[in-house]
Amino acid sequence: MKRVRVLYHDNCFDGVSSAAVFSRFYKGHIDQTAEIEYEGLTHKAGQQISEELFGPDENVIVDFKYCASDRLTWWFDHHESAFLSAADEAHFRRDRSGHKFHDPSYKSCTKFIAHVTRTVFQYPIPDLDNLIYWADIIDGAQFPDAKNAVELKEPAMRLMLVIEASHSPELIHKIIREVQRKSLAEVMKDPEVLSTFEKLYAHHFESIEIMRRAATCTNGVIEFDVSAHDLDGYNKFIPYYLFPQSVYSVGVSQSPVRAKVSVGTNPWTTREHRQNLAKLCEQYGGGGHSVVAAISFKPNELDKARGAAREIAQKLQDDLKGK
């Protein structure tokens, strides 16, 4: 029996959904007898994806940076900053397997994978359309307003909270398997998922109050530092919920594996914004998309993260002043 190791962007609704859609495609179109296992990937400072994470047979990376290894058999990503180096990109360009795909025009990797399976491999998965829809809404921040993004009324939004804030790989992998065959509402009724949500939901409202105390908005740029709190998985729309007049946000958080600078654009701003945040964060070793990006530092480099956050916030304020 072939073993397929799927490495996905951990604690991310789009990463989890990408793993689920790819798994359905692989089992349905490539090898229905394959045994699929999962491993979450977290962005870290100076990160190289170790080949020790790969299994003995097929290895897949979805919604995460490229790995220039001949042991990588499938790859899908939609981030602008998809390559750690020019050499990695050259390795991708030389690939002739027809199993590696990159398109930063997609708002979600899930929708990109679904497009490829349908158009390249003639394998549509219509019963996962709702999952694909919500992955695109969530990762592309295509909500009608910040209130809708923060109050978590829909099953998909509640599942997003569990995925983003849970520290249990076993639970995340269970969700990946469940969403392949159940609706999001049915998955939310699972006793383990529901009990986890209820605990996290209370903490979610605490995080709004923590953010309210920690954040300031100057010249259209929100700044906050929640590194003293357990908020590595906070809802990224809270800053815009608190400061609807903002254009950008720059935040610092910390977890046992990294100090992180998160940089985003208010999805609901009506003001012109021209900064490419992926390019801006690449200057500090990070990356992402043009409208949302991040930088990961080592856990003991919190001061360095704070310094980078301050510099980026100043650059964004200066840019807005110049309009």
Which residues, other chains included, contact 239 with Cβ-Cβ below 8 Å and sequence gap of 6+?
211, 215, 222, 224, 246, 249, 251, 264
- pLDDT tier at 219, thresholds 50, 70, 90: very high
Residue 323 has pLDDT above 60, yes or no: no
* 56-65 average pLDDT score: 96
* C-beta neighbour count of 73 within 10 angstroms: 17
CA distance 23 to 123: 12
Give the tokens for residue 165.
Answer: 């804030």
Residue 234: what pLDDT?
84
Residues of the chain with CATH 3.90.1640: 3-141+167-189
Residue 1: what pLDDT?
85
> What kind of fold does domain 3-141+167-189 have according to CATH?
inorganic pyrophosphatase (n-terminal core) (3.90.1640)
In the block, residue with structure tokens 């990463």: 15
* 56-80 average pLDDT score: 96
CATH of domain 215-321: 3.10.310.30
For 313, the 3-state DSSP assignment is: helix
Q: What percent of the chain has a predicted confidence (pLDDT) above 70?
A: 98
Residue 237: what pLDDT?
94
* C-beta neighbour count of 92 within 10 angstroms: 19
- pLDDT tier at 47, thresholds 50, 70, 90: low
Model confidence pLDDT, tens digit, residues 102-135: 999 999 999 999 999 999 999 999 999 999 999 9
Give the tokens for residue 170.
Answer: 């076993």
Which residues, other chains included, contact 141 with Cβ-Cβ below 8 Å and sequence gap of 6+?
149, 237, 267, 291, 292
* 11-26 average pLDDT score: 97
Sign, CA dihedral 79-71-135-211, equals negative
Model confidence pLDDT, tens digit, residues 197-209: 999 998 899 999 9
Q: Rounded mean pLDDT of the chain?
A: 94
Residues of the chain with CATH 3.10.310.30: 215-321
Residue 8: what pLDDT?
97
Query: Running DSSP on this structure, what letter comes out for residue 210?
Result: H
3-state percent helix, strand, coil for the chain, nearest multiple of 5: 45, 20, 40
**Considering all CA atoms of the chain, what is the largest pairwise distance in Å, rounded to the nearest integer?**
61
Residue 33 has pLDDT above 70, yes or no: yes
What residues does 39 pair with on adjacent strands?
7
How do 216-218 and 35-41 pair as beta strands? unpaired
Among 90-94, 231-235, 288-292, the minimum mean pLDDT is found in: 231-235
Give the tokens for residue 2.
Answer: 């072939």
Which tops the pLDDT comparison, 55 or 273? 55
- pLDDT tier at 49, thresholds 50, 70, 90: confident
Q: What percent of the chain has a predicted confidence (pLDDT) above 90?
A: 89
Compute the radius of gyration of the chain from its Cα atoms. 19
Residue 48: what pLDDT?
67
In the block, residue with structure tokens 């849970």: 166
For 175, the 3-state DSSP assignment is: helix
